[in-house]
Amino acid sequence: MPPRHPPLPTLWLMTDERMGDALWDALERLPAGSGVVFRHYGLAPETRQQVFARVSRIARRRRLLLIRAGPGGEHNQRTRTLTASAHSRREAIAAIRAGARLIFVSPIFATRSHPGARPLGRSRLGLMTRGLGVPLVALGGMNARKARSLCQLGMHGWAAIDAWTKKGN
């Protein structure tokens, strides 16, 4: 019998150091059962570990799934690849072959995280993700309203930075 896994969250916060102290409010605003992908790549290793430890304590208390992002776009939980990011169909297929159980597809819309990057938009997103067979999470310029507009494309959920740090989104 295959191992059973808990359901993967549909709402995600992607962290980075430009959030500053807004990170702590964002973690408190996330609904219980949401996910957090901890990135903070720009911090020195010791500082990154300290911030991760604080995020980890909050995640446990709030019942959030916490995943640490790796340098190659993979996201690990206790040394196993759970999720990955993909910017093309080729990257998505490679992540699935490597064992990813969920793919963050980006950028869907223009985003401050990747200025100048060409967004996929709805049509290219649909072509890129058709038939992949794993849950897909929309990332890049996302908020709840934009996420609803992607429901017909079979997205499992959505992820953001700014949507969780600005009140009213």
Average pLDDT for consecutive 10-residue bins of the chain (169 residues)? 68 92 95 94 92 96 91 59 87 92 93 84 91 94 93 92 73
Q: What is the pLDDT of residue 169?
A: 47
Q: What is the pLDDT of residue 148?
A: 92
Topology of domain 11-165, CATH: TIM Barrel (3.20.20)
Q: Which is nearest to 23 in space by CA: 40, 9, 2?
A: 40
The reported pTM is 0.87
Length of the chain: 169
Domain segments of the chain: what residues?
11-165
Q: What is the pLDDT of residue 4?
A: 56
Q: What is the pLDDT of residue 2?
A: 47
Q: What is the pLDDT of residue 76?
A: 61
Q: Own/partner pairs for 71-77, CB < 8 Å, 24+ apart?
A: 71/41, 74/98, 74/100, 75/37, 75/104
